[in-house]
Structure 1
Amino acid sequence: MIRWDGFADYHGQHNERPKPGHLVLNWHEPSNRTQRVRVVAHTCECRDVVYELCHVAGQGFVRRTDRMEGTVRETAWTSTTVALDTFHRILLGQAR
């Protein structure tokens, strides 16, 4: 049996603040092209803005949820490799 109270202080990955000259990503309204989306990785839920690396049928994109504004946006759907690179850049503060 797993005791979940032992994980109370666990946080997921925190993305760094945007660095000077960071890549400015184009964010779009969610496309709703499919009912199933696999979230492969995500940033910590303790922040107001959460980023998720998503895969669907061999394609990938990054989803951005801003709880303060109540908005959900996505990058363009692309190869999973490019989506993973974009997600890593967000984590490192190289893209936003």
Structure 2
Amino acid sequence: MAREIPDFHGPHIEPPLPGHFKLTWHEPTNRVARIRVVSHTCECRRTTYELCSAAGQGFVRRTDREKRTVHETSWTLSAAARHTFEQILRGEAR
């Protein structure tokens, strides 16, 4: 009996709120050999965000497919990176 696998879409981010926090975005670094994507926004948007974990730390990666650019936040404690990712989802930060 074949089991149907549902489509998976990450969450859509909310539009930026007035007075939202402006994040500092950096060029990606090759600090580690492997990075785990913990969560990500939906791929249907031009810009996607990924909550990443590596070497006991976390950061958010932003990919703009139209401009073909990738940036990331500063590496920090995993809990702080998750908080930043949640702020992005709610439109509180960009």
TM-score range, shorter chain: over 0.9
Which residue does the alignment assign to 2:4?
A: 3
**Percent identity between the two aligned chains:** 58
The partner residue of 1:63 within 33, 40, 61 is: 61
Which residue does the alignment assign to 1:91?
A: 89
Partner SS for 2:83? helix
**Equivalent-residue separation in structure 1 for 2:3 and 2:58 (angstroms):** 32
Calculate the TM-score normalised by the size of structure 2.
0.93
Q: Is there any run of 5+ residues in structure 2 with no aligned partner, and where? A: none
1:46 partner amino acid = C
Which residue does the alignment assign to 1:51?
A: 49
Over the aligned positions, Cα root-mean-square deviation in angstroms equals 1.2
Calculate the TM-score normalised by the size of structure 1.
0.91
**Equivalent-residue separation in structure 2 for 1:2 and 1:90 (angstroms):** 35
Cα deviation code 1:28-55 (max 9, x no counterpart)? 0001111200000000000000000000
Q: Is there any run of 5+ residues in structure 1 with no aligned partner, and where? A: none
Q: Which runs of 4+ in 1 moved over 3 A?
A: none
**Equivalent-residue separation in structure 1 for 2:20 and 2:3 (angstroms):** 41
* Number of aligned positions between the proteins: 93
Q: Does 1:20 align with 2:18?
A: yes
